[in-house]
Amino acid sequence: MGWHGIQNLPPGFDVTGGKGAGTTIVERVIKGEIPGLSPAQKDAFKDLQRNLLHQDYARYFESSLNCANLLFGMKEGIYNAAVMKDIVEPAIAVAFAQMESIRKEVARYAAAKRKMEYDAVSSLRQMYTKSRPIALAYPTAAGAEKLDSTYEAVLKEIEPVLSGAPPRAPSEQ
């Protein structure tokens, strides 16, 4: 488990969510294969990779949105599909994975009758707050429409556990 219940990604984690085979749009930008970007803009894509590698999810979500915005609509939209597949949808998938990680961590602590070592609700809210702009900016991305409901469901599940109340059955929520 990583910082504040955030799951560490395993080595070789596929940032494309299994959809990528070969070079991603991020790698193409870094290699200089996408014309029309300044050196500073190319550095933003390096930051995106670095943020994911170092599991700095707050910055990862921010840099994902920034990089997606740089390419989306560029050259009459020829990169739009790659932006969705290689940047936006993986970022949303990471948000779901991290929310689930927090939910499981809370359940594990509750089952062991141990006090949480961090504020799980705060971590969940930060994950949601940082990932939500991506879902709002790209509502047609896979999973974007489920981000709000997933956050609310996880929050409803963990709040009673953390407050000491008995967990509610899914039918009670």
- What mean pLDDT value characterizes the chain? 86
| Global pTM value | 0.80
Spatial contact of 31 and 101, defined as CB atoms under 8 Å apart: no
**DSSP code, position 98:** H
Q: How far apart are CA 121 and CA 105, in angstroms?
A: 12
123 lies in which domain range?
3-172
How many helices and strands (H and E) does the chain possess?
A: 7, 0
* Nearest by Cα to 29 from 79, 73, 76: 79
Distances (CA, A) of 13 to 10, 16, 47, 132: 6, 9, 17, 22
Burial of 57 (0-12, 13-18, 19+ CB in 10 A): buried
Q: Rounded mean pLDDT of 138-165? A: 90
Helix (H, G, I), strand (E, B) or coil at 163: helix
The pLDDT value recorded for residue 23 is 86
- pLDDT for residue 1: 43
pLDDT higher than 60, residue 51: yes
The confidence band for 130, taking pLDDT boundaries of 50, 70 and 90, is very high
Q: What is the pLDDT of residue 3?
A: 45
pLDDT of the residue at 2? 46
DSSP 121: H
Q: Residue 121 above 90 pLDDT?
A: yes
Q: How many domains does the chain have?
A: 1
